[in-house]
Amino acid sequence: GDSLFLKVELADESVYGIFGSDLVARSSGGSETVLLINDDGCPVEPTVIQALDRLPGSKSLVAPFQAFKFASDSAVKFQMTVSLCLDTCPPADCDVPSSSPTQSYGKRNRLKRRSTGSQFLDLHPGDVISDVTMESPMFLVTNLNPSLDSEQTQSGIEQRFISADHTEDLVHIKLKPNGICVTATTIYIIGAIIATIQVAIICIAAVIFLYRRADNFQTKTRSISSKSWPSVSSRRKLVCNFS
């Protein structure tokens, strides 16, 4: 499939860093699932998706992956756990087969709590503050070589997610110029438009049919009426002969 990019970024990068884990691809009905990135933040199948890497000069994470779809369903949804940690998140050392050790920004440094309360003992850079589970919109893969216009290609497809504590994150799925994804809402709108056009065509055809049928009925009625009554000259001849 085509080479795509999964990008995760935080709206405010001044205090928190982010890392991703438990990335799962699901079919539309949820009957099929594929684990792409495990709980440690390491890619399960590097040939499909690579490790999350930090963009230079930013705390945003990006992971290249190959376009794919399920055998029984063309719709694909992505679900991932994004954790917020103080300052920056230390990467995890991933043992990727047939390659050199890879670092992925998915290592979990949990905060230690007091045994007698809920307050934290210490707050160190890299400690996890909270986890947010996010799910992308549904994308329909019609084929593995679709297309997007240049504006969508530059900005990517963007979806906002709001966590329970109202922390707002952005998940971008950027496609190459030959890639397209259609959301379920767009499919419903297109289906409604097509159904409306079909109903309008059927109504117009029915009106034309009824109009032509009524016109033919009136023509036949006039023809029968003209044959039933003799002309004036014929009536005069009948009267003269009778006389």
Is pTM beyond 0.85? Reply is: no
Structure tokens belonging to residue 179: 């890639």
d(CA 92, CA 128): 14
The position carrying tokens 């890299």 is 126
The position carrying tokens 């016109």 is 215
Distance between first and last Cα of the chain: 102
Query: Going residue by residue through the chain (243 aa), what tens digit of pLDDT does each one get?
Result: 577 788 887 776 667 788 788 888 888 777 888 898 888 888 888 888 888 888 888 888 888 887 777 777 777 888 888 888 777 777 777 775 544 445 555 444 444 433 334 444 455 555 556 566 656 554 444 444 433 333 433 443 334 333 333 334 434 434 444 445 556 677 888 999 999 999 999 999 999 999 888 888 777 777 766 655 555 555 555 555 555
Whether 183 contacts 6, CB under 8 Å: no
d(CA 127, CA 112): 9
Structure tokens belonging to residue 94: 């991933």
Tell me which H or E stretch contains 16.
strand 16-26
How many C-beta atoms surround the C-beta of residue 78 within 10 A? 19
| Domain coordinates in residue numbering, the chain | 4-95+123-140, 182-222
